[in-house]
Structure 1
Amino acid sequence: MEGGLNHRLENFQAALGRLTLSPPPEVSTRKLLEEDWANTWKQYYKPVHAGQRIVIKPSWEQYRAADGELVIELDPGMAFGCGSHPTTSLCLKLLEKYIQGGERVYDVGTGTGILALAAAALGASRVVAVDQDPCACRVAVENVARNRVAGIVQVVQGNLLDKINGGAHLVVCNIISDVIISLAPAASAALIPGGFLIAAGIIRPRAGEVGNALAAAGLDIRERLEEGEWVALVAEKR
């Protein structure tokens, strides 16, 4: 176990080095009991406002919604996606813009289910949330039940777009550049003509490469948003 952790740390440090960030990040480590991490971080997680209307509220926090706000109650558990990371924030802003109501949406790499839940809250008629991590799927199922949208959102464990049948008005992928590039043909195949792909988790130096891969798959870039070093692209199927 210790050797495996050291190997992962070395890979992580090598990946950071390839990001060409200035100044370069420093990595420090210390041992924590899993149950300590699972509870002590909660004191730092507060309601997050994303976009114009969406509020992400931790399940243990009280929050009084203002008129017009859409409140999503979330318990991240050990899955990724609580609304505060720039890549998630970019996706939420774009979902607000591109979901008009009645769409079929695929959330690829759903994590906590946050983007699928947002799509449902914004008016999507059907949302399929896919992740290959069984832990993430368990968390997502719990969050779907917590937000009472089980009739709209289906959580599927599988190898990302392998579980997708097509006919989507919108596909959202908040993953990493390499995975988006590899999934571009399948994402295009899943969309109806005129449907949109929202791709995030892209670092700025690789945005052009991702855009080229999307174009090669029949997806034309329509919008680009940035926050810090992160980029989100919106592409429309020809």
Structure 2
Amino acid sequence: EERNVLELIETVKARISLLPSFGLDIGEGSVSLSNVNESDWANEWKKYYKPTKVGKKIVVKPSWEDYEKQEGDLIIELDPGMAFGTGTHETTSMCIRELENYVDETKTVFDIGCGSGILAIAAAELGAKEVVAGDLDEVAVKVSKENCEINHVSDKVVVKHGSLFEVVDSKADVIVANIIADIIKILAKDVSKFLKEDGVFISSGIILAKIDQVCEALEENGFEIVKVERLGEWSAIVSKLK
């Protein structure tokens, strides 16, 4: 409402009128305007966020939904707020499935770029003895801490603001990073310094076209590729120190 919407619409109309010059059929090419109450869009998405079984054990459930627990279920109650990570995105679900494969009560886990805290919470629910999560975004740190409290894992999960490698001085058995391919390629240079012997690095947020680039970066920095998972347009790569 604070923007000059009418001026913006005229700009849009002018741009649309140029599209036929590119050989595109724009049909009627009309532009319409309507008002949407803030409360509507702020809550409308909640209708589509339902309890979801992400892996063999982990179930992600919004706080406003009921879910009847099945035998073996580990339930994460999650309100993502303004941070990424509801558990339904392919990259998040692949990471959770791999955490199920590698995390037990003997493992320390680092979560790089924790978003809503979902992966850190999943690791804690799977029994990890210690979890450290970090994010450069202060909102993500706040949301992660809140979600840890909701799920009663604050005693096991430490959430820190900043680059995780700058705020930890120990090593992990498992490091998980659900970010983007280009950042993972950069992380590959330093991850090994923070992994124990035989440590596992689970990385995701990688579009299919960049799988080879990420694998190459990992191998150049002392990792062997254990598994490449694909789901939709995304992939997750599990690697171990050679």
Common fold, TM-score beyond 0.5?
yes
The number of aligned residues is: 212
Q: Does 1:86 align with 2:85?
A: no
Q: Which has the larger radius of gyration?
A: 2
- Alignment correspondent of 1:140: 144
- Alignment correspondent of 1:195: 199
TM-score by length of 1: 0.84
Cα distance change, pair 63–104 in 1 and its aligned pair in 2 (3 A): same
Task: Answer with 181-190 or 68-77: which moved more.
Answer: 181-190
Q: Does 1:65 align with 2:69?
A: yes
Query: Deviations along 1:125-163, whole A, 9 cap, x unmatched?
Result: 000010111111111000000000111001101024322
Query: Deviations along 1:165-193, whole A, 9 cap, x unmatched?
Result: 23100000000000001111221111011
Cα distance change, pair 33–171 in 1 and its aligned pair in 2 (3 A): farther
- Alignment correspondent of 1:217: 221
- 1:30-69 matched pairs, under 5 angstroms: 36-69=40-73
In the alignment, the residues of structure 2 paired with residue 159 and residue 101 of structure 1 have an alpha-carbon distance, to the nearest angstrom, of: 26
Cα distance change, pair 33–196 in 1 and its aligned pair in 2 (3 A): farther
Q: Which runs of 5+ in 2 are unaligned?
A: 9-32
Q: Does 1:100 align with 2:81?
A: no
Cα distance change, pair 182–39 in 1 and its aligned pair in 2 (3 A): same
Task: Answer with 157-166 or 188-197: which moved more.
Answer: 157-166
Q: Which runs of 5+ in 1 are unaligned?
A: 7-29
Cα distance change, pair 101–33 in 1 and its aligned pair in 2 (3 A): farther
In the alignment, the residues of structure 2 paired with residue 160 and residue 100 of structure 1 have an alpha-carbon distance, to the nearest angstrom, of: 22
Task: Answer with 212-221 or 36-45: which moved more.
Answer: 36-45
Cα distance change, pair 188–48 in 1 and its aligned pair in 2 (3 A): same
Cα distance change, pair 144–197 in 1 and its aligned pair in 2 (3 A): same
Report if the CA contact (8 A) 1:166-1:192 is conserved.
no
**Aligned-residue offset at 1:33:** 6.8
Among residues 157, 177, 180, which one is paired with 2:181 in the alignment? 177
Report if the CA contact (8 A) 1:109-1:131 is conserved.
yes
Report if the CA contact (8 A) 2:145-2:159 is conserved.
yes
Instruction: Output the amino acid matched with 1:154.
Output: V
Query: Deviations along 1:178-229, whole A, 9 cap, x unmatched?
Result: 0001111221111011000000000111111101111111111111111012
Instruction: Output the amino acid matched with 1:49.
Output: K
- Alignment correspondent of 2:234: 230
Instruction: Output the amino acid matched with 2:176.
Output: V
Question: Structure 1 vs Structure 2: percent identity of aligned residues?
Answer: 45
Give the SS at the match of 1:149: coil
Instruction: Output the amino acid matched with 1:234.
Output: V
Report if the CA contact (8 A) 2:133-2:164 is conserved.
no
Report if the CA contact (8 A) 1:166-1:189 is conserved.
no
Give the SS at the match of 1:106: strand
In the alignment, the residues of structure 1 paired with residue 36 and residue 77 of structure 2 have an alpha-carbon distance, to the nearest angstrom, of: 27
Give the SS at the match of 1:67: coil
Report if the CA contact (8 A) 1:161-1:183 is conserved.
no
Q: Does 1:126 align with 2:125?
A: no
In the alignment, the residues of structure 2 paired with residue 220 and residue 33 of structure 1 have an alpha-carbon distance, to the nearest angstrom, of: 52
Instruction: Output the amino acid matched with 2:217.
Output: A
